[in-house]
Structure 1
Amino acid sequence: MKLAISEANGPTGRLATAQALTERHTITAITRHPETFPLADPALQVVAADSREVAAVTQAIGGHDAVRSTIGVPYGSDAPTTLSESATCIVAATTTHGIRRLVCVTSTGVPMKPAPGETFFYRKTVVPLLLKTRPPTVRGRRPPGTDPRRQRPSAGPSSARPASSTATASPTTPSPNPNTPAASPPDAT
């Protein structure tokens, strides 16, 4: 796969680039400072671009199968909109090229030690809430059939009935779900 990794010179970006190279992908590492990028490989191209500039990102990701954004903004940064600005530009660039795979990764909260200027409220309330409500990951996957977001409505008792050429009246079947109306008997026409 031909993969573009934005902000590849940060800690998460370097790890993502190294992992993708290990998996034998062709990588374009997008960074503002290509001269300091520590990795080299025949399957790696390092491109100078700022992920907050649509034109630069659009040019850098052309011809790729997927884009991975690894931009991170340190807690208490003077530029708190960097993440949203870069996400806007990356989405615009992927849309321009028809790239349908975009993965965003951040290391916010890692390592779990107080950042300079971090408040007690953030550490004891916000972080635990975020960790508790995060979606399941590969390691934290829910057992099959227990994820409420993936439950499909049942077809109901009428679909289990065998097809017959004569219509017969059957008693109303109570619904197992109190929010679902009970099945009504078939029309006797």
Structure 2
Amino acid sequence: MKIAVIGATRGIGLEVVKQALEDDHDVTALVRDPDRMPVRHPRLHLVQGDARDPESVATAVQGQDVVCDCLGTKNVFARTVLFSTCAQNLARALRPEQLLIAVTGIGTGDSRGHGTFLYDHVVLPLVLGRIYADKERQERIIRDHIERWIIVRPGILTNGPRTGRYRALVDLHGVRGGRISRADVADFVLSQAKSPTFIGKTPLLIS
């Protein structure tokens, strides 16, 4: 399988790259600086560019079976259009048969209000508010303009190991918070890349 990863140099994106290569997939990673990619492999192809640039995104996704959007940002307090701009570029570049798996987070869409009290009332509005405003725009663009998509909403992220033990929930009744490792999020992303069962859905991932 040919898999493109956007946001590939760290976090969930890097885990997706590593696990995809372990599973013998061909991986194309869109990276701003190739020197920041800690993985080298014969089946890893690096495309230097920016997720905000339409031509970079189009080049990275061309000929791919699955595209994984795992973008993140270190500057949590600044206003951003990174996520929505990338989604717009993907909407223009993706062919109808290509599958997009986009990782957003708990607090978007109908997952809002299903975190812990501290997360819902302090962290999300006061720390992550600007990021999540753009993640909301990102999700709307994906739902409205991309044919085949899965939006993955992880709970609170940890650096724990890949366990394969987690829940993917679309019915959030009674759900309050939950954690999951970045490695397990990547495990789920790749499981859906191989056998998609959540197309057009927004599963919440928690251990």
- Computing the radius of gyration from Cα coordinates, the structure with the larger value is 1
The answer (yes or no) to whether the contact 1:6–1:69 under 8 Å persists in 2 is yes
- What percent identity do the matched residue pairs reach? 27
Q: How does 1:5-154 map to 2 (within 5 A)?
A: 5-74=5-74, 76-95=76-95, 98-106=96-104, 121-123=121-123, 139-141=166-168
Q: 1:124 and 1:66, CA in 2 relative to 1: closer, same or farther beyond 3 A?
A: closer
Of Structure 1 and Structure 2, the greater strand share is in 2
Give distance in 1, aligned partners of 2:63 and 2:77: 33
CA-based RMSD of the aligned residues comes to 3.8
CA positional deviation for 1:106? 4.0
Q: 1:29 and 1:107, CA in 2 relative to 1: closer, same or farther beyond 3 A?
A: farther
Q: Structure 2 length as normaliser, TM-score?
A: 0.52
CA positional deviation for 1:54? 1.1
Per-residue CA distance 1:44-95 (angstroms, 9 max, x = gap): 1111011111111112211111100010134634242111111111222114
Give distance in 2, aligned partners of 1:33 and 1:107: 25
Q: Structure 1 length as normaliser, TM-score?
A: 0.56
- Segments of 5+ residues of structure 1 without an aligned counterpart are 110-117, 128-133, 149-189
Give distance in 2, aligned partners of 1:75 and 1:35: 21
Task: Please tell me the residue identity of whatever aligns with 1:11.
Answer: G
Give distance in 2, aligned partners of 1:14 and 1:124: 25
How many residue pairs were aligned? 130
The answer (yes or no) to whether the contact 1:72–1:107 under 8 Å persists in 2 is no
The answer (yes or no) to whether the contact 2:105–2:153 under 8 Å persists in 1 is no
Give distance in 2, aligned partners of 1:78 and 1:63: 34
- Segments of 5+ residues of structure 2 without an aligned counterpart are 108-117, 128-151, 156-164, 173-207
CA positional deviation for 1:10? 2.5
Q: 1:107 and 1:42, CA in 2 relative to 1: closer, same or farther beyond 3 A?
A: farther
User: Relative contact order, CA 8 A, sep 6+: which one is greater?
Assistant: 2
